[in-house]
Amino acid sequence: MSVGNIPGWEKRSAEHQKQYKQFLQRADKNKTLKQLPGFHEEAFDKIDCLQCGNCCKNYSPRFKTTDIKRISKHLKMKEGDFIETYLRLDSDGDYVAKSAPCPFLGKDNYCSIYEERPGDCARYPYTNEDVFLKRPQLTQKNSTVCPIAHYVLEKLIASK
């Protein structure tokens, strides 16, 4: 079943991976950074994350110290208990969720800590920042998981 209100996007994204790679390698940085905010807005207007949830189902954000402080306070938990209950250290030494899907994702795809969610969640899929070009492999991977990343890449390539 297709997700995110763009039928067939997964197949199209799989077919266009080579084009995405070439675009990300050769992109005009200044031009692309100027275009990103508009395409980012347009993508989030068109695509409903609540019909998708792919990121929250498959990947964990980093829970940085400030995230842990804010979220544990919101949940009225001690930081140590919050870490023990929900988090583990990954190979980079970052705290991430112990389990996937994320323990804060509801069946309706709502995030139960949305207002307090980690900074990484608010930034995903990095379509409105220079990480989009600085980490091309991450952007390419995101284009296979996230219809918004796919949409923005398609728009950038079409406007070349």
Q: Which residues lie near ligand SF4 (CB under 6 A)? A: 4, 47, 49, 52-56, 61, 102, 104-105, 111, 113, 117-118, 121, 124-125, 145-148
Tell me how far, at minimum, the Cβ of 57 lies from ligand SF4, in Å. 8
Between 2 and 19, name the residue whose CB sits nearer to ligand SF4: 2
- How far apart CA 116 and CA 21 sit, in angstroms, is 34
Between 9 and 23, name the residue whose CB sits nearer to ligand SF4: 9
Question: Which one, of 132, 114, 133, lies nearest residue 53 by Cα?
Answer: 114
Tell me how far, at minimum, the Cβ of 126 lies from ligand SF4, in Å. 10
Between 23 and 126, name the residue whose CB sits nearer to ligand SF4: 126
- How far apart CA 19 and CA 144 sit, in angstroms, is 13
The two structure tokens encoding residue 103:
């323990």
Tell me how far, at minimum, the Cβ of 140 lies from ligand SF4, in Å. 14
Between 46 and 78, name the residue whose CB sits nearer to ligand SF4: 46
- How far apart CA 96 and CA 89 sit, in angstroms, is 6
CB 152 within 8 A of CB 36: yes
